[in-house]
Amino acid sequence: MRGQGIEPNSIDAILLTHFHGDHCAGVPFVLMDAMLGSKRTSPMIVAGPPGTAGRMQSLQEALFPGSGMMKPKFPLEFIEMAPGCVTEVNGALVTPYPAVHTPETVPAILRVEMDRKVVTYSGDTDWTEALVAAADGADLFISECYYFEKRIKMHMNYTTLRAHIGELRARQIVLTHMSEDMLRHSHEIPERCAMDGLVIHL
CATH number at residue 95: 3.60.15.10
Residue 21 lies in a domain: yes
Q: Are 15 and 45 in contact (CB under 8 A)?
A: no
H or E element that contains 55: helix 52-63
108 and 63 within one domain: no
Can you name the residues that pair with 118 across neighbouring β-strands?
Answer: 113
Per-residue model confidence (pLDDT) at position 1: 87
pLDDT averaged over every residue in the chain: 96
Last residue within a domain, chosen from 18, 52, 80: 80
Last residue of a domain, one of 25, 45, 80: 80
Is the whole model's pTM more than 0.85, yes or no?
yes
> Who's near 73: CB < 8 A, 6+ residues apart?
35, 39, 40, 41
Do the Cβ atoms of 83 and 61 come closer than 8 Å? no
Structural domain contains residue 202: no
- 179 lies in some domain: yes
Per-residue model confidence as pLDDT tens digits over 49-94: 999 999 999 999 999 999 989 999 999 999 999 999 999 999 999 9
Cα-based distances in Å from 101 to 20, 30, 169, 174, 183: 10, 25, 23, 20, 22
Residues of the chain with pLDDT under 50: none
